[in-house]
Amino acid sequence: MRTVKKQPQPRRWHILVFILPAFLIYTVFAIYPIVESLRLSLYQSIPSAQGTGTTAEFAGLANYMRLWGEPYWAEQFWNALKNNFLLFAMHMLIQNPIALALAALVSIPTLKGAATYRTIFFLPTLLSVVIVGFIWQLILSPLWGITPDFMKWLGIREWFKPWLGLESTALVTVTLISIWQYVGIPLMLFYAGLLNIPEETIEAARIDGLNGWWIFWKVKLPLILPALGVVAILTYIGNFTASFDIIYTLQGGLAGPDYSTDVMGTFLFRTFFGFQSQLGDTYMGATVASVLFFIILVGVAIYLFGVQRRLQRYDF
């Protein structure tokens, strides 16, 4: 925690200069349109008096009642939310440890080819989700032989399943593909955190007689806890927003089979913009979006006011 208070200055215009550009662009081109859209969650569409067209009428919390009250909406909502938390758990337990381990290894100062490794690990992140989806469907396809042949070579062909098409395995498979693509992002954040550790701190530990493994656990890890916090919260947010693209590409708008890969992102997209014969519903879409917003807000608040404060104690 910071203890040194800045001495008050008479005019601190520079604060305004620092904040204003971001504040303005962000308010006009992000907050205004979003608020304009979320506002509609309090409205419903009714046929207008003239016979053609519809008008929006204030409806209070009626849309929210529908979302949690009507089985059609409630089932989709809870199913998507459950899948989102599964997705989050898997990313936290698989993606982030892998990213941390790889970051720790490539940040070893004496390692040869570290930059090459980093570039390789980051390459999948640069790809458009369209080709990622296509190539993994091709790799995992039961028809074209890449995985089945490989497993045959290993002698475990009978374990092959059409994973992306089975309710029991589709979500896990999609998650692993997502991890493959995005592991580079937490890796970069951990790496930046590890680079920020002063060399003399590590030197001191080494003089103390600790070897590489223990330096990592006892010295580096506590020091990059803030980065760990950032990664955790970005994983949490990304799992609600960014996960949409990969699922929409791999499993389609109905997030099959039988909605087993449906997450808030796909549910929201279907509701808001429509999908195939389903028409977009701006009002219910705004309602789902608002609820999603609050779910994320709660997570961020827990982080900012709970976790982050505790992490700061480790600051040197």
Partner 1 sequence: MASLTRKLERGRAGLSSLGIHAILIAYSVLALFPLYLILLNSFKSRRGIFGDPAGLPNESTFSTKGYQSVITNSDFPLYFGNSLVVTGVALFFILLFGAMAAHALSEYDFPGSTFIGLYLILGIMVPIRLGTVALLKLIVDLNLANTLTALILVYTAQGLPVAIFIFSEFLKNVSHEIKDSARIDGLSEYRIFFEVVIPLVRPVIATVAVFSMIPIWNDLWFPLILSPGESTRTVTLGVQKFVGQYTVDWGAVLAALSVAVVPVLFMYIIFSKQLIRGITAGAVKG
Partner 2 sequence: MLRFAAEEEIMKVATNKNIASGLLLAGVTCAGFLAPLYAADLSIESWRTDDQAIWDEKILPAFKAAYPDINVSFAPSKPTEYDASLNAKLEGGTAGDLITCRPFDRALKLYEQGHLADIKGMSGLENFSDVAKAAWSTDNGDATFCVPMAAVIHGFMYNKDAFAELGLEVPKTEEEFYSVLDKIKEDGSYIPMAMGTKDQWEAATMGYSNIGPAYWNGEEGRLGLIDGSASFSDEGFLKAFEQMAKWKDYLGDGYQAQTYTDSQNLFTLGRAAIYPTGSWEITGFQQNSDFELGAFAPPKASADSKCYISDHTDIGIGMNANAKENDAAMKFLEWAASAEFADLLTNASPGFFSLSTHEINVENPLAKEFFEMRAECDPTIRLTYQILSRGEPVLSNHMWVLNANVINGTMTPAEAAAEAQENIDTWHKKP
- Distance, in Å, from the CA atom of 115 to the CA atom of 120, rounded to the nearest integer, reads 9
* Neighbour-count burial of 300, counting CB atoms closer than 10 A to its CB (0-12 exposed, 13-18 middle, 19+ buried): middle
Least CB distance to partner 2 at residue 237 (A): 23
User: Where in 221-280 is the site for partner 1 (CB under 8 A)?
Assistant: 226-227, 229-230, 234, 237, 241, 244, 265, 268, 272
- Distance, in Å, from the CA atom of 232 to the CA atom of 85, rounded to the nearest integer, reads 13
User: Where in 124-153 is the site for partner 1 (CB under 8 A)?
Assistant: 124-132, 134-136, 138-139, 144-146, 149
CB nearer partner 1, residue 46 or residue 297: 297
Instruction: Residue 162: name its binding partner from partner 2, partner 1, none (Cβ under 5 to 8 Å by kind).
Output: partner 2
Nearest to 188 by CA among 227, 222, 219, 218: 227
CB nearer partner 2, residue 178 or residue 271: 271
Q: Does 204 bind partner 1 (CB under 8 A)?
A: no
- Give yes or no for a contact between 132 and 124, defined as CB atoms under 8 angstroms apart: yes
Name the 3-class secondary structure at 162. Answer: coil
Q: Look-up: residue for tokens 């994320």?
A: 296
User: Which string of x and - marks every residue 78-117 that binds partner 1 (by CB under 8 A)?
Assistant: --------------------x--xx--xx-x-xx---x-x
CB nearer partner 1, residue 49 or residue 143: 143
Least CB distance to partner 1 at residue 296 (A): 4
Residues whose CB falls within 8 Å of the CB of residue 116, separated by 6 or more in sequence, listed in order: none
Q: Which helix (H) or strand (E) holds 45?
A: strand 43-47
Q: Which residues make up the interface to partner 2 (CB under 8 A)? A: 47, 52-54, 70, 72-73, 137, 140-144, 160-167, 252-254, 256-259, 273-280
Q: Does 176 bind partner 1 (CB under 8 A)?
A: no
